[in-house]
Copies of this chain bind each other. A is one copy, B any other.
Amino acid sequence: MQELYIQQALSVQIGIKKSLRSGILLDEGMPVVLFFPDNTKKLVVLKRGKYTESKYGRIKHDDIIGKNLLGKFVKTNSGARILVQKPTIDEIIYSLFKRKSQVIYPKDAYAIISEAGLKRGDKVGEAGVGSGFLAAHILSVIGNEGEYYGYDLRDDMIETAINNLSLLGYDVSGKIRKKDVKEGIDERDLNAFFLDLPDPWNAVNAIYPSLAPDARIVIFVPTLNQVIKFLASIDDSSKFKINRIFETFSREYAVSKDALRPSPIQSSFTGYIISLVKISE
C-alpha cells in the first residue's frame, strides 16, 4: 500500500518534471490542464485507462497520452472540443499538493517573498511549514545554492510537506524538523525567516540569535486579533521594527466578451502579512 503510494507519487513526480520541460510530448503521469468551453478548467494527471468526467462529456486519457495534443483539442465522447495544455508551476502546486491545513496562496506567497527580499542562494527558516505551499515558492527562489530549514510541531504536516515538495523534485526530508521554534533553533546567519504560527509574538525573540544582521522576517496571520497582539508585543526595547502590515487581493473578472464584470462572489480574504526588519543592538 505504502509502496504503491510511493510508486504513484514517483510517477507524478516524473510527470511533473517532464511537464516543466519544453518539447516533451504528453505522457502518462504528466499533469495537463483541460480548458472547457465555459472558461472553467481542470488539472488532471494522465493515466492509461482513465477517464475524466465533465459536463461536456467524458474525456479518455488514452486519447491524450502519447499524442501530440499540446495546445490542441481532445474530443469528449459527446463530441465537445476541450483544449489540452501544460500547467504552470503554480497550477501544479495548487492542484496537486495535498492540503492538511490552511494553505498560503500565490498572491500572498509572492508578497511574502518580495517583503523578505528573497533571492537565489539565500539561507532561510520557516516556522509552521504546514502543507509546504510557501516552502515550494521559497525553494524555487533560493534554488539549489540556497539553504532551507523548516520547523513544524506535527508529524503529519511534516510528512505532507515533504511529499508535496518531492513532487516538484525538492528533497527536504532532512530539512524539515519537528521542533518548537520558541525554544530556539540551531541554525545561524539566516537571511530571512517566515512565520505562520498562531502566536508569532512568542517566537520572534527565540529565533533572533539565528538571524543575519540584515535579515527580514515575514509573518502571516489569519486574524486581526493576532495582528493587534503582535503590535502590542513590540516596544522600544524590541529587537525588531515593523516595516509593513498589509493584505493582498486578486479580483477575478468573468471571461466574457459581452458581459465583462467581476465575479459576483469570490475569495475576498486570506490573511495579514506583517514584515519586520532586525535591530542589531
Contacts and interface: CB of A to CB of B under 8 A. Distances in A.
A61 interface: no
Chain A contact patch, size range: 35 or more
A281 to B, nearest CB: 5
A92 B249 CA distance: 24
A70 interface: yes
Given A91-B117, A243-B41, A245-B252, A189 B228 contact: no
Contact of A213 (B70, B87, B243, B247): B70
A265 B265 contact: yes
A237 to B, nearest CB: 13
Nearest to A140: B119
A251 B206 CA distance: 30
A107 to B, nearest CB: 7
B110 A88 contact: no
A169 B278 CA distance: 26
15 contacts: A35-B241, A72-B280, A73-B281, A120-B140, A120-B143, A143-B143, A222-B261, A223-B260, A224-B261, A231-B260, A232-B257, A246-B252, A248-B251, A249-B249, A268-B268
A114 B143 contact: no
Contacts of A279: 71-72, 83
A111 interface: yes
Interface of A: 20, 22-23, 33, 35, 39, 41, 70-73, 83, 85-91, 106-107, 110-111, 113-117, 119-120, 140, 143, 189, 191, 212-214, 216, 222-225, 227-228, 231-232, 234, 241-272, 277-281
A253 to B, nearest CB: 4
A264 B269 contact: yes
A14 to B, nearest CB: 17
B249 A245 contact: no
B248 A107 contact: yes
Contact of A280 (B70, B120, B212): B70
A31 to B, nearest CB: 12
